Amino acid sequence: SAPIIYVVTPTYRRPEMVAELTRLGQTLTLVKRIHWIVAEDSLTCTAPITGLLQRLGLSYTHLASPMPEVYRKERYVPRGVSNRRAALEWVQEHGSDRGVLFFLDDDNAIDVRLFEEMRPTETVSMWPVGLIGDYTVSSPIVKDGKVVAFYDGWPAGRKFQVDMAGFAVNVGFLKKQKKVTMPYIAGHEEDGFLKSLGLSIKDIEVKADGCTKIYVWHTRTAKNPSRALKLEKHQNDNIKV
Ligand code: UDP
Ligand code: MN
């Protein structure tokens, strides 16, 4: 049977949450052998998300792991790290060695063809991500079938200049590494994680037709602060009732 893909989606409560997860979750129902790990930045799991997961019929795990308060106060907040870490631990403990780990943030859009690209990953595979930064795309640069550099609008001294949705990791390979972690450093979560895998650039598996195709985008749903305030008021009013 085909390797299972463990799709890790960090998320947090705001007016757009249910909409984002409905859209992503329904995309995932088009794909075979997926296990969706929805990891909330929260103390508890949110009821409408539990309902959604039950209805979708996917194999899933619903986790909650809040960001430690100290990081919320930072100028650049490392978003989604505590919850991704919780999901990572879950995969290290329960994941099948033949499986594949993939981080998919809740504000991304994905073409289901990407899943069949990443499914045979033996160590770490990479591909382009659309709608990233000023360059509009972030991609490995490929020469003779190998990654030689990265094209990314925000190099920031990173060894691996990739977006969270731009790579997948074989679970057996992940489990063999001793110090796997994701740092609480905004903008360096991917690079720190990939470095912790002891990965060399020469070992990266190239996907999406030599990194010439875009199958995932960081679309970023617009946030509306006044909508968020209304939701908060609504929830507070409900608690008072
Ligand atoms: N996220 C989170 N807690 C937060 C803010 C964001 O868990 O306080 C999640 C969010 O749902 C998304 C990921 O972390 O899946 C990255 O966050 P966001 O898209 O806001 O950050 P950006 O892409 O702008 O760096
Ligand atoms: Mn985002």
Give ligand 1 pocket residues (Cβ under 6 A).
10-12, 41, 67, 79-80, 83, 105-107
Task: Tell whether 219 is in a known binding site.
Answer: yes
- Quote the ligand 1 centre to 79 CA distance (angstroms): 5
HSE, side-chain direction, 13 A CA sphere, residue 110: 32
Strand segments (E) across 181-237: 205-206, 216-217
* 144-195 confidence digits (pLDDT tens): 999 999 999 999 999 999 999 999 999 999 999 999 999 999 999 999 999 9
- Token representation of residue 87: 């999901």
pTM of the model: 0.96
Q: Quick check: ipTM above 0.95?
A: yes
Give catalytic residue positions.
190
On the 0-12 / 13-18 / 19+ scale of CB atoms within 10 A, 204 is buried
- Quote the ligand 1 centre to 18 CA distance (angstroms): 14
Task: Tell whether 105 is in a known binding site.
Answer: yes
Ligand nearest to the CA of 10: 1
